[in-house]
A = this chain, B = another copy of it.
Amino acid sequence: MNGAESLVHTLADCGVRLCFANPGTSEMHFVAALDREPRLRGVLCLFEGVAAGAADGYARMTGTPAATLLHLGPGFANAMSHLHNARKAGTPLINIVGDHATTHAQYAQAPLSSDILGICRPVSDWLHQCRSPGEVAADGARAVAAALMAPGQVATLVLPADCAWQDADGPAAPLPVPKARPVEAGRIDTVAAALKNGKRTLLLLRGRCLERAGLEAAGRIAARTGARIAHDYFSPRITRGAGLPAIERIPYFGEEIVARLAGLEQIVLVGAPAPVTFFAYPGKPSWVTPDGCDLITLAEPRDDATAALIALADALDARDVGRIVDLVRPAMPVPGALTSQAMGAIMARLMPDDCILSDDSLTAGPGIQAALKAGPRHDALFLTGGAIGDAMPMAVGAAMACPGRKVIAASGDGAAMYAMPALWTMARERLDVVTIICANRSYNILNIELSRVGAVHSNMGPGPRTLSMLDLHDPVIDFVKQAEGLGVEASRAETTQDFAAQFADAMTRPGPRLIEAVI
A: residues with CB less than 8 A from B are: 21, 23-26, 28-29, 31-32, 34-36, 41-42, 44, 46-47, 49, 72-75, 77-78, 80-81, 84-85, 88, 100-101, 103-104, 107-112, 114-115, 118-119, 121-123, 161-162, 165, 234, 273-274, 276-280, 282, 286-287, 383-387, 414, 417-418, 420-421, 424, 427-428, 445-446, 449-450, 453-456, 462-466, 468-472, 474-482, 484-487
A37 to B279, CA, bound (A): 26
Contact at B277–A110, with CB atoms within 8 Å?
A: yes
Q: Which 8 A-B pairs have the closest CB atoms?
A: A475-B487, A35-B463, A481-B485, A74-B387, A109-B273, A77-B80, A101-B280, A482-B485
Contact among B107, B121, B453, B475 for A161, CB-based, below 8 A: B453
Contact at A74–B78, with CB atoms within 8 Å?
A: no
Can you list 13 A-B contacts (CB < 8 A)? Answer: A28-B449, A32-B463, A34-B466, A46-B414, A78-B80, A107-B286, A109-B276, A161-B279, A162-B280, A417-B421, A479-B485, A482-B482, A485-B485
Quote the shortest CB–CB distance from A299 to chain B (angstroms): 15
**With A29-B453, A72-B386, A112-B387 already in contact, 16 other A-B pairs whose C-beta atoms are closer than 8 Å:** A31-B466, A32-B455, A32-B466, A42-B468, A42-B469, A47-B417, A74-B81, A78-B78, A84-B114, A104-B280, A109-B276, A119-B122, A417-B424, A475-B486, A477-B486, A478-B486
Once A74-B81, A111-B385, A279-B104 are accepted as A-B contacts, the answer to whether A165 and B453 lie under 8 Å apart by CB is yes
Chain B residue numbers with a CB within 8 Å of A81 are 74-75, 77-78
Query: Closest B-chain residue to A77, C-beta based?
Result: B80
Quote the shortest CB–CB distance from A99 to chain B (angstroms): 10
Query: Closest B-chain residue to A452, C-beta based?
Result: B25
A387 to B44, CA, bound (A): 18
Once A165-B453, A453-B161 are accepted as A-B contacts, the answer to whether A234 and B481 lie under 8 Å apart by CB is no
Contact at A78–B418, with CB atoms within 8 Å?
A: yes
Quote the shortest CB–CB distance from A110 to chain B (angstroms): 6
Contact at A475–B165, with CB atoms within 8 Å?
A: no
Contact at B384–A111, with CB atoms within 8 Å?
A: yes
A114 to B384, CA, bound (A): 13
Query: Closest B-chain residue to A457, C-beta based?
Result: B32
A73 to B122, CA, bound (A): 9
Once A88-B111, A286-B103 are accepted as A-B contacts, the answer to whether A469 and B387 lie under 8 Å apart by CB is no
Copies in the assembly, this chain: 2
A269 to B273, CA, bound (A): 57
A387 to B384, CA, bound (A): 28
Chain B residue numbers with a CB within 8 Å of A108 are 273
Once A104-B279, A418-B47 are accepted as A-B contacts, the answer to whether A485 and B474 lie under 8 Å apart by CB is no
Contact at A100–B280, with CB atoms within 8 Å?
A: yes
Contact among B100, B115, B446, B472 for A23, CB-based, below 8 A: B446
Quote the shortest CB–CB distance from A283 to chain B (angstroms): 10
Chain B residue numbers with a CB within 8 Å of A114 are 84, 122
Contact at B279–A449, with CB atoms within 8 Å?
A: no
Contact at B446–A28, with CB atoms within 8 Å?
A: yes
Contact at B25–A445, with CB atoms within 8 Å?
A: yes
Chain B residue numbers with a CB within 8 Å of A100 are 279-280
A474 to B46, CA, bound (A): 12
Contact at B276–A35, with CB atoms within 8 Å?
A: no
Once A80-B77, A466-B34 are accepted as A-B contacts, the answer to whether A475 and B276 lie under 8 Å apart by CB is no
Chain B residue numbers with a CB within 8 Å of A74 are 80-81, 84-85, 385-387
Chain B residue numbers with a CB within 8 Å of A80 are 74, 77-78, 80, 119
Quote the shortest CB–CB distance from A151 to chain B (angstroms): 13
Quote the shortest CB–CB distance from A360 to chain B (angstroms): 11
Chain B residue numbers with a CB within 8 Å of A115 are 121-122
A494 to B101, CA, bound (A): 39
A424 to B481, CA, bound (A): 14
Query: Closest B-chain residue to A447, C-beta based?
Result: B28
Contact at A465–B28, with CB atoms within 8 Å?
A: no
Query: Closest B-chain residue to A37, C-beta based?
Result: B465
Query: Closest B-chain residue to A78, C-beta based?
Result: B81
A100 to B278, CA, bound (A): 9
A502 to B340, CA, bound (A): 42
Most buried by B among A77, A161, A383: A77
Quote the shortest CB–CB distance from A211 to chain B (angstroms): 21
Once A28-B455, A110-B278, A462-B32 are accepted as A-B contacts, the answer to whether A478 and B484 lie under 8 Å apart by CB is yes
Quote the shortest CB–CB distance from A1 to chain B (angstroms): 12
Contact among B85, B274, B469 for A21, CB-based, below 8 A: B469
Quote the shortest CB–CB distance from A272 to chain B (angstroms): 8
Contact among B28, B35, B44 for A453, CB-based, below 8 A: B28
Contact at A282–B165, with CB atoms within 8 Å?
A: yes
Chain B residue numbers with a CB within 8 Å of A478 are 484-487
A168 to B118, CA, bound (A): 34
